[in-house]
A and B are shown apart, each in its own frame.
Chain A
Amino acid sequence: MRVGVFICHCGSNIAGTIDVARVAAEMRKVPGVAFATNYMYTCSEPGQEEIKQAIKREGLNRIVVAACSPRMHELTFRRTIEKAGLNRYFLEMANIREHISWVGLDKEANTNKAIDVVKMAAAKVMQDKPLFSQSFKVNKRVLVIGGGVAGMQSALDCADGGLDVLLVEKSPSVGGMMSRLDKTFPTIDCSICILGPKMVDVAQHDKITLHAYSEIDDIKGYVGNYQIKIRKKATYVDWTKCTGCGLCMEKCPSKNSYDHFNFGVAPTRAINIPFPQAIPKKAKIDPEYCRQFVKGKCGVCAKVCPTGAINYEMQDEIITEDVGAIVVASGYGLMDVAKLPEYGGGRYPDVITGIQYERLLNASGPTEGHILRPSDKTEPKTIVFVSCAGSRDKSCGVPYCSNFCCMYIAKQAILTKDHIPDSQSFVFYMDIRSPGKGYDEFTRRAQEDYGAKYVRGRVSRIYPKGKKMVVMGADTLLGTKVEVEADLVVLANAVTAAPGAAQLAEKLHISYDTFGFYVESHPKLRPVETNTAGVYLAGAAQGPKDIPASVGQGSAAAAKVLALFSKDMLESDPAVAKVNENTCVGCLKCKMTCPFGAVKEKELRGGKIVANVIETVCAGCGVCTSTCPCGAIQLSHFTDNQLLAEVNTLCQK
């Protein structure tokens, strides 16, 4: 055994608070260690060259790199030693940066700790066995979850790249939040005019299969081979027959259904097509409001439908599909304003949210583009916008910035002036955050050209006074109290994770943060990848993001899928469980615990039953290994002996 140890300075990141030379000197005393050195930047090209040279020069056959987290560079160094002719699994990393040099300032204590963990890594590497990947076939179909602008972009890019795409959208139409917007910053171009063609492309692309009003029930498998169960929710309308004529909607007597598309700005019918440009343009029944469901009699839509598409007996349908990769673009949600009682959210009709205002501005919205106050349908003259309504406020559970509100408020102030020239907008803000291309100019235009009055300070209370809403706040620049009597108040309510985001993450085995947004592999270097191979992220599902960023990410995720699918075969991770057939007693406890169904029974020639692991199905968790009463099933690379070698090195010093 000739172990080589490479201790990285990482500039001053490590060497600043760890005596790297002493660590190297200590390692030279460890039996089995043939060579130990410290180097400025081990991951750099010359650093990697140094490792390769040393392997040849010193005849090293096991390598320890003490540097940053293996989650960062394990693959880098595996490749390095492979190039020098070693099996890539003859590498261990000791994390002396994230876990030591960056979290403690005491150089002596850090150095001692570093010596321990490098020794532990050396003890483990001496137990490492060569492992070899198997290759398996990739199913070159991709599932995109969420048909907002990010998901549609991803689906189109994948399809244009020649892949078969399944697009699963929870609501009855694709388009997501962008389909509700009136105009978009910073160009003030019509939102549906740029989105509509994309929606049509999605519907007409021969490589894209759209499942609208559908959800993911279950996901099994691994990169290259996922099995998906999709639940097509009952619409009570046979979409193969529905032509989208809208007659049912016209005649439906239940006129007070909640309009999900318009965020309840005005009611809709129990049977409805969400909006004129909907794709697919099909009707669906909302059983919560439908008289046939609630009262047991009505049947008007069934009578008027010219194609006989109505079916009150319809059930959810489950379909199964196989795909090789998944793009998650499930978008975001908005904070319930009832959580902001001081702003009268949900209590006063003339306090509305940004997205509701967007619907009032929109020509195909419930007011046909006329800004009318919800209470008395009159035109408001004084309009107050409240930014950071819930955002950047720990007490609301949203410490983060919602990213695009500053910009859409500026947009809405501009549009308001266009709609009602004698109106006056006030914007209460904490800071104006507009770092994008052309963004700062845009927020300035709102103030300079459109006369929006920007008041720096939080609003403390909003209450009604006669027909007006009084907005009480402070101008922290002038140090005075400000009171505005407004006709309409628009709250830029905080952006939250999409409803059900956590449940979807659990099905996908991807992580989400405390707020329910999905976590990427690396915040800077792997922004659209997750820690689950073959699962990628796009859009606001990862955190609040505006349209340009969401679209960019949609394309980036598609590029990742196309790169993954550019190979016909993928390499499996060989760090999987293996059964020792001599010691296995055939109790099959491992089979019962394996979360992936990777263990099967196998009959040996003499009739003895043993466990057998299907390598490509095994995910390498090792649950079986700690279950087996006789230690017969061992997770390669993390065997009992290897982990105990680490324990012993640390304990018996």
Chain B
Amino acid sequence: MSEIAPKELRIVGFLCNWCSYGGADTAGVSRFRQPTDLRVIRVPCSGRVDPLFIVKSLLNGADGVLVSGCHPRDCHYTDGNFYARRRLEMLKRLLPFLGIDEKRFHYTWISASEGARWQKTVTDFTTQVHKLGPLHSTTEAQIGS
């Protein structure tokens, strides 16, 4: 954990049950060391991730959000991850309008066998969010008013 600043930031990870959650499990079974900032929320499919969840997370106190699903064409639900890609691409372009650096959000594909890839993804993304520092932004309530 040397390269990551000692103070933890708040990173939310939405992982699909079949591929990326499995990949994170594989990383665990293989004892691949990772920074601890990210906390996982399990969803059935990356297509279940409503872009609103990400906006809500970032407005309410998260410093970064990672979404990870199955590789294109390898989705347990045929093409849920394609819906995810379309929505999340849109969201990426929208974030700057909310005053949020789009580098705080990342989406990726990791299969259940790719433990090493999960380790690298978490480490890289955590480092990236640490470079940006904590997100002291407007709260949802302020935006609403």
- Chain A residues near B (Cβ < 8 Å): 69-72, 95, 97-100, 102-106, 109-110, 112-113, 116-117, 120, 502, 505-506, 509, 511-514, 519, 531-532, 575, 593, 595-596, 619-623, 625-627, 635, 638, 640, 643-644, 646-648, 650-653
B103 CB–A CB distance under 8 Å: no
**Roughly how many angstroms separate A532 CA and B77 CA in the complex, as a whole number?**
10
Interface set, chain B 100-128, CB cutoff 8 A to A: 111-114, 119
CB-CB under 8 A for A596 and B78, given A104-B1, A621-B48, A626-B48: yes
Which B-chain residue is minimally distant from A103 (CB atoms)? B34
Instruction: Pick from A97, A99, A651: contact of B60, CB below 8 A.
Output: A651
Taking A71-B21, A509-B78 as known contacts, 20 extra A-B pairs with beta carbons closer than 8 A to each other, sorted by chain A number, are A98-B29, A100-B36, A103-B119, A104-B33, A117-B39, A120-B41, A511-B74, A511-B113, A514-B113, A514-B114, A531-B76, A622-B47, A623-B48, A638-B44, A638-B48, A647-B60, A650-B57, A651-B56, A652-B61, A653-B61
B49 CB–A CB distance under 8 Å: yes
**Contact across chains for A650 and B80 when beta carbons are under 8 A apart:** no
Question: For B77, what are the chain A residues with a Cβ–Cβ distance below 8 Å?
Answer: 509, 595-596, 619, 621, 623
> Mind listing 15 A-B residue pairs with CB under 8 Å?
A98-B25, A103-B28, A105-B33, A112-B36, A117-B39, A511-B76, A531-B18, A575-B44, A595-B77, A621-B44, A635-B48, A647-B41, A650-B41, A651-B57, A652-B61
**Roughly how many angstroms separate A109 CA and B38 CA in the complex, as a whole number?**
11
**Contact across chains for B36 and A623 when beta carbons are under 8 A apart:** no
Question: For A109, what are the chain B residues with a Cβ–Cβ distance below 8 Å?
Answer: 1, 8, 36
CB-CB under 8 A for A102 and B83, given A509-B78, A513-B111: no
Question: For A97, what are the chain B residues with a Cβ–Cβ distance below 8 Å?
Answer: 28
Question: For A575, what are the chain B residues with a Cβ–Cβ distance below 8 Å?
Answer: 44
Q: Nearest-CB distance from B4 to chain A (Å)?
A: 10
**Contact across chains for A643 and B43 when beta carbons are under 8 A apart:** yes
Question: For A514, what are the chain B residues with a Cβ–Cβ distance below 8 Å?
Answer: 111, 113-114
Which B-chain residue is minimally distant from A627 (CB atoms)? B83
Q: Nearest-CB distance from B72 to chain A (Å)?
A: 10
Question: For B111, what are the chain A residues with a Cβ–Cβ distance below 8 Å?
Answer: 511-514, 519
**Contact across chains for B113 and A625 when beta carbons are under 8 A apart:** no
Question: For A648, what are the chain B residues with a Cβ–Cβ distance below 8 Å?
Answer: 60
B10 CB–A CB distance under 8 Å: yes
Which B-chain residue is minimally distant from A506 (CB atoms)? B73
Instruction: Pick from A117, A502, A513, A622: contact of B40, CB below 8 A.
Output: A117
**Contact across chains for A519 and B112 when beta carbons are under 8 A apart:** yes
**Roughly how many angstroms separate A100 CA and B27 CA in the complex, as a whole number?**
10
**Roughly how many angstroms separate A627 CA and B49 CA in the complex, as a whole number?**
10
Instruction: Pick from B60, B73, B78: contact of A652, CB below 8 A.
Output: B60
Which B-chain residue is minimally distant from A650 (CB atoms)? B39
CB-CB under 8 A for A643 and B25, given A103-B31, A619-B77: no
Question: For B40, what are the chain A residues with a Cβ–Cβ distance below 8 Å?
Answer: 95, 99, 117
B89 CB–A CB distance under 8 Å: no
Instruction: Pick from B22, B43, B80: contact of A71, CB below 8 A.
Output: B22
**Contact across chains for A70 and B42 when beta carbons are under 8 A apart:** yes
CB-CB under 8 A for A621 and B47, given A70-B42, A596-B78: yes
Question: For B57, what are the chain A residues with a Cβ–Cβ distance below 8 Å?
Answer: 647, 650-651
Q: Nearest-CB distance from A519 to chain B (Å)?
A: 6
**Roughly how many angstroms separate A301 CA and B48 CA in the complex, as a whole number?**
58
**Contact across chains for B75 and A104 when beta carbons are under 8 A apart:** no
- Chain B residues near A (Cβ < 8 Å): 1, 8, 10, 12, 17-19, 21-22, 24-25, 27-29, 31-36, 39-45, 47-51, 53, 56-57, 60-62, 70, 73-80, 83, 87, 111-114, 119
**Contact across chains for B74 and A506 when beta carbons are under 8 A apart:** yes
**Roughly how many angstroms separate A27 CA and B78 CA in the complex, as a whole number?**
39
CB-CB under 8 A for A511 and B112, given A647-B12, A650-B12: yes
Which B-chain residue is minimally distant from A648 (CB atoms)? B60
Instruction: Pick from A71, A513, A627: contact of B17, CB below 8 A.
Output: A71
Q: Nearest-CB distance from B136 to chain A (Å)?
A: 13
Instruction: Pick from A102, A512, A595, A627: contact of B74, CB below 8 A.
Output: A512
**Roughly how many angstroms separate A596 CA and B76 CA in the complex, as a whole number?**
12
**Roughly how many angstroms separate A651 CA and B60 CA in the complex, as a whole number?**
6
Instruction: Pick from B44, B56, B112: contact of A622, CB below 8 A.
Output: B44
**Roughly how many angstroms separate A422 CA and B73 CA in the complex, as a whole number?**
55
Which B-chain residue is minimally distant from A97 (CB atoms)? B28
Question: For A623, what are the chain B residues with a Cβ–Cβ distance below 8 Å?
Answer: 45, 47-48, 77, 80, 83
Chain A to chain B: the 9 pairs with minimum beta-carbon distance, closest first: A98-B28, A622-B48, A651-B61, A621-B77, A623-B47, A626-B50, A513-B113, A595-B78, A621-B45
> Which of A69, A512, A652, A653: most chain B CB closer than 10 A?
A69
**Contact across chains for B36 and A519 when beta carbons are under 8 A apart:** no
**Roughly how many angstroms separate A652 CA and B139 CA in the complex, as a whole number?**
11
**Roughly how many angstroms separate A103 CA and B112 CA in the complex, as a whole number?**
16
**Roughly how many angstroms separate A317 CA and B26 CA in the complex, as a whole number?**
42
> Which of A98, A103, A506, A519: most chain B CB closer than 10 A?
A103
> Which of A620, A626, A640, A644: most chain B CB closer than 10 A?
A626
> Which of B18, B25, B34, B74: most chain A CB closer than 10 A?
B25
Q: Nearest-CB distance from B2 to chain A (Å)?
A: 11
Instruction: Pick from B28, B41, B45: contact of A643, CB below 8 A.
Output: B41
> Which of B10, B39, B43, B75: most chain A CB closer than 10 A?
B39
Question: For B56, what are the chain A residues with a Cβ–Cβ distance below 8 Å?
Answer: 644, 647, 651
**Roughly how many angstroms separate A638 CA and B15 CA in the complex, as a whole number?**
13
Question: For A98, what are the chain B residues with a Cβ–Cβ distance below 8 Å?
Answer: 24-25, 27-29
Q: Nearest-CB distance from B67 to chain A (Å)?
A: 11
**Contact across chains for A635 and B44 when beta carbons are under 8 A apart:** yes
**Contact across chains for A620 and B44 when beta carbons are under 8 A apart:** yes
**Contact across chains for B24 and A113 when beta carbons are under 8 A apart:** no
Which B-chain residue is minimally distant from A637 (CB atoms)? B44
Question: For B36, what are the chain A residues with a Cβ–Cβ distance below 8 Å?
Answer: 100, 104, 106, 109-110, 112-113
Question: For B44, what are the chain A residues with a Cβ–Cβ distance below 8 Å?
Answer: 575, 620-622, 635, 638
**Roughly how many angstroms separate A623 CA and B49 CA in the complex, as a whole number?**
8
**Contact across chains for B50 and A640 when beta carbons are under 8 A apart:** yes
Question: For A531, what are the chain B residues with a Cβ–Cβ distance below 8 Å?
Answer: 18, 22, 76, 112
Which A-chain residue is minimally distant from B117 (CB atoms)? A514
Question: For B8, what are the chain A residues with a Cβ–Cβ distance below 8 Å?
Answer: 109, 112
Instruction: Pick from B35, B39, B79: contact of A120, CB below 8 A.
Output: B39
Question: For A513, what are the chain B residues with a Cβ–Cβ distance below 8 Å?
Answer: 111, 113
Question: For B51, what are the chain A residues with a Cβ–Cβ distance below 8 Å?
Answer: 626
Which B-chain residue is minimally distant from A509 (CB atoms)? B76
**Contact across chains for A69 and B112 when beta carbons are under 8 A apart:** no
Which A-chain residue is minimally distant from B56 (CB atoms)? A647
